[in-house]
Amino acid sequence: MTKALHGVRVLDFTHVQSGPTCTQLLAWFGADVIKIERPGVGDITRSQLRDIPGEDSLYFTMLNHNKRSLTLDTKTKQGKEILEGLVRVCDVMVENFAPGVLDRMGLTWERIQELNPRIILASIKGFGPGPYEDCKVYENIAQCAGGAASTTGFDDGPPLVTGAQIGDSGSGLHLALGIVTALYQRTHTGRGQMVRASMQDGVLNLCRVKLRDQQRLARGPLKEYPQYPHGEFGSSVPRAGNASGGGQPGWILKCKGWETDPNAYLYFVAQAPVWESICKVIEKPEWITDSNYATPEARLPHLKDIFAGIEEWTMQHTKIEAMEILNKYDIPCGPILSMEEIAADQSLRDTGTIVEVDHPGRGQYLSVGNPIKLSDSPTEVVRSPLLGEHNEEILKDVLGFDEATIVNMFASGALGAVPLRAAE
Ligand SMILES: CC(C)(COP(=O)(O)OP(=O)(O)OC[C@H]1O[C@@H](n2cnc3c(N)ncnc32)[C@H](O)[C@@H]1OP(=O)(O)O)[C@@H](O)C(=O)NCCC(=O)NCCS
């Protein structure tokens, strides 16, 4: 079956997490992704957080599936020649170097356009134009600068970063959308363009509801926040603990076994349309007509008591039992699942969201597969490439170099100190 991005060739000049998540998505959709890495070293994540001595780390393998690897010292004459050759034949170039790095390599946007006016140059930077545009940025910096940390956590605690990689993987997603959009526009214009996604912008986009609340705050207290009605509201959106970010109140509640199991909890949404069912299930039928509880507006000052009442019920059940009972009444809720539980979840494996991948060096490992499912372009997850695994193949098939040129390129050291046909 032809894949959605079949025929799209991507020069993947990304490293660490944000850029690689973007190009991995493009590869899963069928693009030919050629990852350029520094000879001998590769993407720094190959050796970071290693769990097996000498083998590519899970950090690397889980972010670089379905790609080909080419080692290239782009600061040598021949390395630059190969790089420019790839710019000529690729549809998209993706990079997430620190600001200025690409220019210092001689690859300014002007030069790139000279080489290939149809190419799309997609970049992730920490910040957009402004006072911080030259700064290097990692995940948690973006979470802090994009409004996530100041609005995450409990009101009486410090700002918190979240385990979800909204700065890195979030920016990768934003950039991927920009790339396919630019590819579509190119079908009309014939021209490439620059696509930029800043990590701060991406995090802020995901924190949209908090900027909403910042403006609501000017008109009075945020009545769905746990600070209401007894706490103080300052001038900026406070941390809301586990309150829901939407119009239906929610909270995390203890379930049976919480004393010993750190994940024996359930997220419970006290959704207005099923309020009557909630009262019946938790055996508080009097709340259906009590004027303090009967309407969503009346309930807002009593949310703490309401969730305490519901928790008395959830603590009598395991999170899975509680979910089964509540689902019969269409009451929205969800168990707090540990990574251990998720890794063992058969339904996630059945859909390819969790996949087992074979790797020649490390054996079998688990990864997150493509979370986006296309009915006409199913994803097959292929292991990440070894460093420089496709050197010769790319020079030959992608750049069309003849045998003598390939021999010269290898001899020049531009691909590192690797002999031609090392694997033979
Ligand atoms: C992530 C980040 C902080 C890492 O910083 P870093 O490890 O210092 O890496 P840099 O991007 O500065 O690049 C380092 C150097 O490697 C060089 N390099 C990279 N690949 C090369 C290659 N194949 N051949 C030769 N040189 C290469 C670059 O030219 C650069 O050299 P220079 O500074 O002398 O010009 C930085 O790249 C960054 O801020 N990126 C944008 C935001 C981002 O994506 N952050 C999230 C990462 S998950």
Give pLDDT tens digits for 56-67.
999 999 999 999
Mean pLDDT of the 106-112 span: 96
How far does the chain reach from its first CA to its final CA, in angstroms? 32
Segments of 289-372 assigned E as strands: 333-335, 354-359, 363-368
Q: Determine whether the shortest distance from the Cβ of 16 to ligand 1 is under 6 A.
A: yes
DSSP 260: T
Let me know if 114 is exposed, middle or buried by CB neighbors in 10 A (0-12, 13-18, 19+).
Answer: exposed
- Residue 420's pLDDT band (boundaries 50, 70, 90)? confident
Find out whether 409 and 395 touch, Cβ atoms under 8 Å: yes
Backbone angles phi, psi at 60, to 5 degrees: -75, -50
Distance CA 317, CA 65 (A): 41
Show the tokens assigned to 197: 């996604």
Alpha helices per DSSP H over 315-364: 319-328, 339-343, 346-350
Q: Which of 12, 168, 201, 213 is catalytic?
A: 168
Contact 306/296 with Cβ under 8 angstroms? no
CA distance 279 to 1: 52
C-alpha 323 chain-centroid distance: 28
32 phi, psi to nearest 5 deg? -90, 105
Residue type, 30: G
Beta-carbon contacts of residue 201 (< 8 Å; ≥ 6 apart): 128, 146, 174
Does position 423 have pLDDT exceeding 60, yes or no? no
Pairing of strands 9-13, 92-95: parallel
For residue 247, give the nearest of 230, 228, 222 by alpha carbon.
222
Give the mean pLDDT of 102-119. 97
Give the separation between CA 223 and CA 292, rounded to whole angstroms. 15
Report the 10 Å Cβ neighbour count for 239.
20
- What's the 387 CA to ligand 1 centre distance in angstroms? 18
Tally Cβ neighbours within 10 Å of residue 175.
27
- Catalytic, 156? Answer no
Which residues fall within 8 angstroms of residue 295, CB to CB, at 6 or more apart?
none
Q: Whose CA is nearest to atom 20 of ligand 1?
A: 38
Instruction: Tell whether ligand 1 has an atom less than 6 A from the beta carbon of residue 125.
Output: yes
Tokens found for residue 164: 């979800």
Whole-number pLDDT of residue 417 = 84
CB contact at 8 A, 73 and 39: yes
Averaged pLDDT, 340-361: 97
Q: Which residues, in sequence order, are CB contacts of 307 under 8 Å at separation 6+?
A: 251, 253, 268, 270
Q: Is the CB of 314 under 6 A from ligand 1?
A: no
pLDDT value of residue 422 = 53
Asked if residue 135 has its Cβ within 6 Å of ligand 1, the reply is no
Q: What is the pLDDT of residues 42-101, one digit of tens each?
A: 999 999 999 999 999 999 999 999 999 999 999 999 999 999 999 999 999 999 999 999
What pTM did the predictor assign?
A: 0.96
Count of other CB atoms within 10 angstroms of residue 246: 11
Cis peptide bond upstream of 360, omega within 30: no
- Under 8 Å CB-to-CB from 223, ≥6 apart: which residues? 229, 300, 301
At residue 424, the pLDDT reads 47
Residue nearest to atom 6 of ligand 1 (CA): 98
